[in-house]
Structure 1
């Protein structure tokens, strides 16, 4: 097994004389060439984690390893880690060339080496024609590329990005996301990307680590984390809208199990084995994308449309069924009118169960065979 490019071991950061744990004993491994997003709400500890990796904050306990070597006692300038801030931190009084060359000049590199490195990074980032221009004349996405380029020119082992797109307008943000993804593929960088924006995390990262209250709640491939949340927090945080969560109980019916919450009843896949959970309270997770409005005459769950919220090609529909309120995501060209009575179908294969005691996802044989 190869050594992770970056490894956090029991990493903790306490403030206020130890009474507040901004980062509470997290473990994380990032492989070389991987892009990992630290995703979570404001105040969850993701930026503090980034600051400890780069060396701007000292951990209260735990270890930070790069290529298997502890860097906790290594000064920030010698960790070979590049950090790009949210506000770019570009010198607007300098040209683009001078900005890109700044870090190498500080390190005392020879002019020929600086010119070669600046030229390579400028070509990679599409800045070659702007090198002699003044940074103050650049737009937001161009400034962001200069900030990234100034870091890349020093050849960091790991590139850290702290909310790098939050100051950009929507159109520019989308274009810059594409540029970052291209950059990662072409340069093979190891990137840690801090954001509260799920769309950015899902579109840019190979893996996502969801944080809350200083803890990592789940680390999973970006393609799976919405479908297989490990716990109630991740289920309620991921997705727009997030997973529908209903607390109720399981009962046996026709050789299988059904979930009941008042008058709301939905069956699990035939043959599903849930072990001891059959006798305990559970929370069921229903992804909005897996709730389908039935065609006229089809069997299903009776429901009433409370609200329909168009968002381009899709519409988020709020429905009342069996005394419960759930959300569905459907194609806008099939959007029902508010107040209409409809029939619903919920894909049993997509249902997720969580323990009513631990709030963690329950393994099911039907799920494990998938």
Structure 2
């Protein structure tokens, strides 16, 4: 195991700069998830760590060793691909042992390693089967087993669950989380699925257009976003980003938000020097759907709940919750109500806003106002 440090990494393909000065550091035994939309540069960054792509400038260090220029086989890493990349003519046992045979590992040692990973991944009964006889989840376990027997310093996962159905993805997330806890190995994991990122990571790096938008713990990324991109990208449903106007009334700051049919609501805003620079102008009020709920479902531990009447246009039952859509700031905003909350459609109903969870952004720069 080892820490991983990425310092001022730039990667260009011809005149196109794909990664633009990435700085990251993950501790020994950490689980770093690279997340972002398609084309943001996350797979390119993973390939640079693996040595499959040569960086334009910057440093990559595994432990204390600068691995720039080293062949992938010399970096002491193991990679698990989206496509599994199993040899179809080999059994599971053969696929897992193939790399060890190439390295000249003793047969007895090979067998011990195979049995160890088979026990960890619960694939003992699959060892004599061919990949064509396995399900998607079983194939992914075998691919993980092939990587595990190498005992690398860093594991790299490139969207390993994207080919699986929804339920199996959830099951495999649990398996990977359990595996990381048991092995304590440093992992770098690429996904476009932000729920996967929040579930697995000890640290998340959010990328967009080649820039690192934010790097932090799942809690920091979700509850304390740096900008509107991170706020909107992370979470499902995503954060409500509501246009409003910042005003001062009786010495206190409020955000005024247009509602349905000419109605409006005002909500208190925390005072501060940076916030006061926006008085009289536009501001974006950000709040998660779970922080907008029916009054009986509001967080009893929060010291700052504000309840306002809002027009309910649509309700969407979702089993354990009901999502209510209300027009605020010219947008359809989502509130998360209790499943048994009584909702009257086409009418104004009270919605409780947990203002301790509210964040505010500058609509011009899209950055957070702190």
| Residue 195 (structure 1) aligns with | 191
Matches within 5 A, 1:105-144: 105-144=101-140
Segments of structure 1 that go 5 or more residues without pairing to the other structure are: 364-370
| Residue 186 (structure 1) aligns with | 182
Aligned residues of 2:243 and 2:257 also touching (Cα < 8 A): yes
| Residue 244 (structure 1) aligns with | 240
Report deviation, 1:133. Answer: 2.3
2:312 is the counterpart of 1:311: no
2:25 is the counterpart of 1:29: yes
2:361 is the counterpart of 1:354: yes
Q: Using structure 1 for the length normalisation, give the TM-score.
A: 0.90
2:243 is the counterpart of 1:256: no
Matches within 5 A, 1:31-70: 31-70=27-66
Matches within 5 A, 1:70-81: 70-81=66-77
| Residue 282 (structure 1) aligns with | 283
Q: Secondary structure at the match of 1:211?
A: strand
**Deviations for 1:159-180, whole angstroms, at most 9, x for unmatched residues?**
1111111111122212111111
Report deviation, 1:63. Answer: 0.9
**Deviations for 1:326-349, whole angstroms, at most 9, x for unmatched residues?**
211122221524323212221222
Q: Secondary structure at the match of 2:316?
A: strand
Equivalent residue in structure 2 for 1:220, among 216, 221, 237: 216
2:202 is the counterpart of 1:206: yes
Give distance in 1, aligned partners of 2:329 and 2:366: 23
Length, aligned pairs only: 355
Give distance in 2, aligned partners of 1:251 and 1:245: 18
Equivalent residue in structure 2 for 1:150, among 146, 151, 158: 146
Aligned residues of 2:227 and 2:368 also touching (Cα < 8 A): yes
2:228 is the counterpart of 1:232: yes
Give distance in 2, aligned partners of 1:42 and 1:322: 29
**Deviations for 1:251-302, whole angstroms, at most 9, x for unmatched residues?**
2224421112446443336xx332142132432212111112346xx99422
- Would the alpha carbon gap of residues 316 and 21 (structure 1) be closer, same or farther in structure 2, given more than 3 Å must change? farther
Report deviation, 1:189. Answer: 1.1
- Would the alpha carbon gap of residues 356 and 334 (structure 1) be closer, same or farther in structure 2, given more than 3 Å must change? same
Q: Using structure 2 for the length normalisation, give the TM-score.
A: 0.90
Q: Secondary structure at the match of 1:226?
A: helix
Q: Secondary structure at the match of 1:10?
A: strand
Segments of structure 2 that go 5 or more residues without pairing to the other structure are: 297-304
| Residue 333 (structure 1) aligns with | 340
Give distance in 1, aligned partners of 2:330 and 2:175: 47
Aligned residues of 1:268 and 1:351 also touching (Cα < 8 A): no
Aligned residues of 1:303 and 1:322 also touching (Cα < 8 A): no
| Residue 171 (structure 1) aligns with | 167
Q: Secondary structure at the match of 2:212?
A: strand
Give distance in 2, aligned partners of 1:303 and 1:322: 12
Give distance in 2, aligned partners of 1:184 and 1:322: 43
| Residue 302 (structure 2) aligns with | none
Greater Cα shift, 330-339 or 72-81:
330-339
Aligned residues of 2:194 and 2:235 also touching (Cα < 8 A): yes
Report deviation, 1:97. Answer: 0.8
Report deviation, 1:324. Answer: 5.4
